[in-house]
């Protein structure tokens, strides 16, 4: 299954990239293909909207979404989840995906 990782980045130390990398490793260990928005890194020349545009392309290419803690407080993650729900995709906290080991 192709899973997109959604979670907070803005305002987090290191843009929360370690949490995204940990989730990616866990999902890959379960045999999933992973779409990780943190792979873009942090480019000061890009705007929030630039990142969201790229992220939404990955959301619609995915089969499901794994949610990192704190996603509810992230404007971008809430939009990603909204799109996923509109498309009928499964959205589960990362802990639920990991529990399927």
Enter the tokens of residue 7.
């979670």
CATH number at residue 59: 3.40.50.450
What pTM, to 2 d.p., does this model score?
A: 0.94
* Distance from C-alpha of 5 to C-alpha of 37, rounded to nearest angstrom: 7
* Distance from C-alpha of 11 to C-alpha of 44, rounded to nearest angstrom: 14
Per residue in 50-72, pLDDT (tens digit) is 999 999 999 999 999 999 999 99
Decide if pLDDT at 32 tops 70. yes
Total of domains in the chain = 1
* Distance from C-alpha of 19 to C-alpha of 94, rounded to nearest angstrom: 10
- Domain carrying residue 64: 2-98
């Amino acid at each position: 299954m192709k899973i997109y990782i959604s979670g907070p980045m803005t305002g987090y130390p290191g843009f929360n990239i370690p949490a995204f990398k940990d989730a990616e490793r866990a999902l890959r260990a379960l045999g999933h293909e992973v779409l990780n928005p943190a792979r873009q890194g942090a480019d000061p020349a890009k705007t929030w909207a630039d990142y969201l545009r790229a992220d939404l392309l990955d959301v619609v290419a995915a089969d499901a979404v794994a949610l990192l803690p704190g996603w509810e407080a992230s404007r971008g993650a809430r939009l990603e989840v909204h799109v996923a729900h509109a498309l009928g995709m499964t959205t589960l906290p990362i802990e639920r995906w990991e529990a399927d080991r």
